[in-house]
Amino acid sequence: MNASSSPTINPLKEGLSNRPLPRPCNVVIFGASGDLTYRKLVPALYNLQVDGDLPATTNITGFARRPKSDETFRSELGEALGKFSRSGRADDIWNDFSSRVHYHQSEFSNGEGYRLLAEKLDKLDAASGTAGNRLFYLSVGPSEFEGILGKLAEYGLNKTRDGSWARVIVEKPFGHDRSSAHDLNEKVSHVFAEEDTYRIDHYLGKETAQNIMVLRFANSIFEPLWNHRYIDHIQITAAEPMGVEARGPYYESSGALRDMCQNHLTQILCLIAMEPPTDLSADSVRDEKLKVVRALRKYTPEQVAANVIRAQYAAGAVSGKEVPAYRSEDRVSPNSETETYVAFRAFVDNWRWDGVPFYVRVGKRMPKHGTEIAIYFKDTPGVLFNAQQAGLGPNVLVLRIQPDEGISLRIQSKRPGAQLAIEPVKMDFHYKTSFGKPSPEAYERLLLDAMAGDATLFARRDEVDAAWTFIDCIEDAWHKSQNPPAMASYPAGSWGPKEADDLLASDGRAWRRL
């Protein structure tokens, strides 16, 4: 398929959501010396400028504890850009962009640092016409949130004047369970209104995740089949060859379920399972996603044991390279009981999805990198072509979130020749070949949306709360019940534990090979 060969380009494509334009503002990144700033945030802002999407006078101020001059900060960022920017670095654009990047050294708890920040932002407003608009990005651990929010309020940085706005973007993890997420939400809500609070889930910013709604609701052929009458089951996989790298302490307190399932994979599941929203406004879309999370069946500890597998990687080899067991990773307890892999069978208990299992699996140290959703359709009737015992195999629609973003549909076809032989073939759409240019990074879209005041791709408070309710019943069964299900093990570089294969085998199904 090739987009350029389509006869008309939909003129509505840019205005589908009636999105307001992003406004020039001061972006302030708390925790600016962290990895995220260098690898994701600044490359994203820079690439927005390359594509002409960044409002021209946007300023970026990095707020962090380490002493550093503007020049040092700029040169470090410039170096990182060479590695992490999808478009590389063009010196003329970088010079213009980096002249609007500043560094602000302060402890997060030091009031004077915020007073000086307010002064600095006022000056930047006056010099560059950013009109008092502020976007605060909390790229810090959750233990810092409260202190920073308190100081922002104390120094009036959350206040708006003359039509300006002040918004906050909060990075995950958003709480550790429902109760801590509730406390955190309360704290944020004392400083920023819900409509000014942007809880980031970078999966929602991925082009392919955004395309799920387009595939379902901008095409007429899928939606009539998108229910329990035609769909047998759904598989959602997020596999990473990486281990925990330098994030041992964080991961020890999180584990795969909290790290990937409470947020990213629940969001993906919602996009697949939701009803069509009445319009594309942030709240209409999020209302529908919320209904899905609320309809997720909550398991008793016995049901958790039967429906959820947790596992940890042992030593093994990934891409031919020996790698250590999770318990031997840097700053990980040698007796750790943290899961690096989860597989579960979930049910969305509503009319559309009655009885359809959603199998979800996520793991570190898998043989391959790949996130995908596979929709398995029901078999054709057992007469004619599907009469043999082995059967033809189902139609499978695969939405590849990453890498090699695209969509494929497995269909049956007659092999050419005098004999009647049937073989599965694939109809395949690749973003790369159809659109001929790389997709923007998730953070580009999300930062731009926050500047535009469009929260559609950010998690709302009630969504986060409902997702924790689902996750908490699993965590509680693992950590608080009398008879917790055992932790399984898998060699690094394998597709997970045998128990996860058994989970599907008990339903007469198998995981898809990526």
Catalytic residues: 264
Asked if residue 240 binds ligand BG6 (CB under 6 A), the reply is: yes
- Nearer to ligand BG6 among residue 178 and residue 206 (C-beta): 206
- Contacts to ligand BG6 from residues 348-377, by CB under 6 A: 371
**In the complex, minimum distance from the CB of residue 371 to ligand BG6, in angstroms, rounded to a whole number:** 6
Interatomic CA distance for residues 190 and 141, integer angstroms:
19
Q: Which two tokens stand for residue 66?
A: 């380490």
CB 400 within 8 A of CB 235: no
Cβ partners under 8 Å of residue 224, min gap 6: none
Q: Which is nearer to ligand BG6, 178 or 202 (CB)?
A: 202
Instruction: Provide the minimum distance between the beta carbon of 251 and ligand BG6 in the complex, in angstroms, as a whole number.
Output: 7
Asked if 207 touches ligand BG6 (CB under 6 A), the answer is no
Q: How far is the CB of 431 from ligand BG6 (least distance, A)?
A: 15
Q: Which residues contact 473 (CB under 8 A, 6 or more apart)?
A: 298, 299, 300, 304
> Does 259 help bind ligand BG6 (rule: CB under 6 A)?
yes
Q: Are 69 and 21 in contact (CB under 8 A)?
A: no
Q: Should residue 288 be labelled a site residue for ligand BG6 when binding is judged by CB under 6 A? A: no
Q: Contact letters (x/-) for ligand BG6, 14-33, by CB under 6 A? A: --------------------
Look at phi and psi of residue 216 and say left if phi exceeds 0, alpha if psi is from -120 to 50, else beta: alpha
Closest distance between ligand BG6 and the C-beta of residue 218, in Å?
25
Q: Nearer to ligand BG6 by C-beta: 36 or 317?
A: 36
Nearer to ligand BG6, 192 or 251 (CB): 251
Whole-number minimum distance, CB 259 to ligand BG6, in Å?
Answer: 5
Q: Which is nearer to ligand BG6, 94 or 251 (CB)?
A: 251
If DSSP codes are grouped into helix, strand and coil, which group holds residue 102?
Answer: strand
The nearer residue to ligand BG6, 125 or 240, going by C-beta atoms, is: 240
Q: Does 441 bind ligand BG6 (CB under 6 A)?
A: no
Q: How far apart are CA 137 and CA 32, in angstroms?
A: 9
Nearer to ligand BG6, 312 or 395 (CB): 312
Q: Which tokens in the block code for residue 479?
A: 């950590």
Render the burial of 472-496: b for 16+ CB within 10 Å, e for the rest.
Answer: bbbbbbbeeeeebbebbbbbbbbbb
Tokens at residue 475, please?
């965590």
Contact positions with ligand BG6 (CB under 6 A) in 371-410: 371
Residue number of the CB closest to ligand BG6 reads: 259
| Beta-carbon-side half-sphere exposure of residue 481 (alpha carbons within 13 Å) | 18
* Count of chain residues binding ligand BG6 (CB under 6 A): 4
CA–CA dist 160, 135 (Å, integer): 12
* Helices and strands (H and E) in the chain: how many: 16, 17
Is residue 329 part of the contact set for ligand BG6 (CB under 6 A)? Answer: no
Site for ligand BG6 in 131-170 (CB under 6 A): none
Closest approach of Cβ 211 to ligand BG6, in Å?
A: 16
CB-CB contact of 375 with 389 (8 Å): no
- Minimum distance from CB of 260 to ligand BG6 (Å)? 6
**Site residues for ligand BG6 per CB under 6 A:** 202, 240, 259, 371
